[in-house]
Amino acid sequence: MSLRTLISVHVGNVPESGGEDRAPTAEPVPTGRVVAAEDALAGVLDGDARAALALIRARSFGSPPDRDDWERLADSAYAGFARAVLETAAARAAAIQAGEIPYVADKAFTAEEVAALGRAFRVALLRDDTWLPELLDRLLPAVAVAPTPARTLPSQALVFELARSAQEFPTPEAAAALRAVRGIVRHAGVPKQLDRSLKRIDAALADRTEVAFRLPDLGFGPDGVHRRVVGEYEARVTAGDDVTLTWHRSDGQALRGVPAAVRRDHPARLKELRQLVKRARAHLTTLTRALEGALLAESGQAYGRWRAEQAGHPLGRSLIERLIWEVEVAPGEWRAGLPVEGGRRFLDAAGEPWAAVGEDSAVRLWHPVRAAPGEIRAWRDELTERRLRQPFKQAFREIYLLTPAERETRVYSNRFAAHILRYRRLYALFKARGWQAGMLGPWDGGHEGEATRVLPGRRWRARFFVEYTDLTWQEELAATDQVRFERRTGDGWREAALEDVPPTVFSEVMRDVDLFVGVTSIAADPEWTDRGEDRFRDYWHRAGFGDLSASAEVRRDALARLLPRTRIADRAELTGRFLRVRGSRRTYRIHLGSANILMEPDDAYLCVVASSGGAADGLFLPFEDERLSLILSKAFLLADDAGITDPDILRQIERGV
């Protein structure tokens, strides 16, 4: 019996691996037959693929198989099987939606079938099969929404398994499909879980730049606008800093909201347009994360292809033209600019235009770690003057260079050692930033651990060591230790000297670690010293008012440009590590790292728990930074301390006056 016949007996019609793109017809099969088909296939695969499948099937939740195993499986006859069983799953889900199979919540597939479908989905994602997006658009909604008004799902387990699969082998289409399902699922707990998965998918897309920049044709014109006539009105979906839906009369006059006639007579068209907005936003979110990951690229891509597929794409153009790119104008010589006119020309840091060179010239994202200080300052000035907010920090991105101490220690960095962090927040941030880490806790073997991140390109891996410290005031704490780097070799990972790590890799890893410390350190909690806990008081004062990290230095640079534009310019000045603000009652120093406050002349601590924004909401900020917004909010409050009415704040201020 042939392999094709063998699988068809269990599953249904099986396409030829690598054949034409039309999806096969697959009839629903009884529960358990998907697993039986995979068992049958395992017996006839070639040796390497059979061994790979055995290792993959034996995987544990916390120990995923090596990518090489997946690649061996994807290059075998398993690829045809994957398509067949996924078609079977889609057909069964459709039958449930049509009432042909009785609906029972979360019973559309057995646990064994979910695992097998997850393996099939991973193989299809890894191969980036062209038939997969259309199938996914049929399968995901059908397993995520009950055919009745119930808030349950035909298979919550399969939805989560597909999301986990996309975290390992992400594609923009899979991310977009999951985002679309997140918007229609009725179960209260599923969207939160999908949000966590989508963050990890977006981060993982940076490792698959060959697919991450793929953008769909959603009907947007060259100007980034999708136009559609609905009754007597025109709807315009515009891709800019955000994706917006606006309505216009036939004469072009803009309306404030949705016309009543459209709501009444064309509800389906209105729903379709709103879905288009969500879909476009989802693609731009995915592209933004992928672009940030591409900052690590050294070689770049062909200019002609970049211009056609990214800079000139109606949907992606709004992102591309807010980022700084550099073109290799001669071997080893790169020139930076902001693209305009769909990438046909560039503007330099002085706003002067220049044209790119040949179609095959390399183009890549500009990273400040490769630039001279004067060039960095020029770009920051230009973006601030133009009031251009980039989709992620680029010109104002923190950079981390090797220090003399790190050259001395050679293979590890202690730059961020000996900090006390809130462990639960730290663990969540590890996951959000694409770091892998086991859970620490007060159990045997749970006191020491590490977080690892494999960098895009899979040639470098970073290790950040942490230690479980204590449970204090019902909060788990961790202490930080070394950061190390490893290079991938033919037989695994080998420790590397810090001097051998590419500057972009070193800088981006240290930027992540700085973020972990800055966001989760107890020093960033203005109320910590009021808890009566003395054990970490010295650390809190040292870290809360100490030397500035690279992120705080960038914050200082931004404030130097912003303060002269504010109404408190004559009462605020930057002095070393602080923003010094003169009020009517006292003078205050706000630390640029922690945002903690000291009052002159006795350096008394002032606890102000203020939300970010506030009086600074109308001020243009060149990048999103909650701590920068918080510092500005406190500065505006304290500059007008005569107007403060909060009795707790007034009591602290007046205590030393």
Q: Where are the domains of the chain?
A: 3-205, 216-397, 404-520, 546-655
The alpha carbon of 611 is separated from its chain's Cα centroid by a whole number of angstroms, namely 24
Q: How far is residue 265's CA from residue 268's CA, in Å, rounded to a whole number?
A: 9
In DSSP notation, 133-147 reads HHHHHHHHHHHHS-S
Residues 293-321: tens digit of each pLDDT: 888 888 888 999 899 888 988 888 989 99
275 vs 90, 241, 288, CA distance in Å? 22, 18, 20
Residues 287, 291, 292, 297: is their CA dihedral positive or negative? positive
pTM of model > 0.85: no
Residue 327 has pLDDT above 60, yes or no: yes
The confidence band for 448, taking pLDDT boundaries of 50, 70 and 90, is: confident
Which residues have C-beta within 8 Å of that of residue 350, sequence separation ≥ 6?
Answer: 378, 382
Q: Which CATH architecture has domain 404-520?
A: 2-Layer Sandwich (3.30)
- 156-168 and 190-205 helices, crossing angle to 10°: 20
- pLDDT per residue as tens digits for the range 329-356: 999 999 999 999 999 999 999 999 999 7
User: 446, 440 in Cβ contact below 8 A?
Assistant: yes
Work out the percent of the chain whose per-residue pLDDT is above 70: 90
pLDDT band at 103 (very low <50, low <70, confident <90, very high): very high
- Residue 376's contacts (CB-CB under 8 Å, 6 or more residues apart) are 368, 395
Opening angle at CA 621, ends 597 and 367, nearest 5: 105
Whether residue 450 is predicted with pLDDT greater than 70 in this model: the reply is yes
Distance CA 520, CA 277 (A): 34
Q: In the predicted model, is pLDDT for residue 164 greater than 90?
A: yes
64 close to 440: Cβ distance less than 8 angstroms = no
pLDDT at 214 over 60: yes
Mean pLDDT of the chain: 87
Comparison of pLDDT for 537 and 476, the residue scoring more:
476
pLDDT in tens, 112-162: 999 999 999 999 999 999 999 999 999 999 999 999 999 999 999 999 999
Alpha helices, DSSP H, located in 499-573:
503-520, 537-545, 550-562
Q: Looking at the predicted structure, is the pLDDT value of residue 29 above 70?
A: no
Q: 108: pLDDT confidence band, cut at 50, 70 and 90?
A: very high
**Average pLDDT of the residues in 552-564:** 93
Is pLDDT above 80 for 10? Answer: no
Residue 63: its pLDDT value, please? 53
What is the per-residue pLDDT for 206?
64
| Lowest mean per-residue pLDDT among 465-469, 472-476, 508-512 | 472-476
pLDDT score of 61: 52
pLDDT at 31: 45
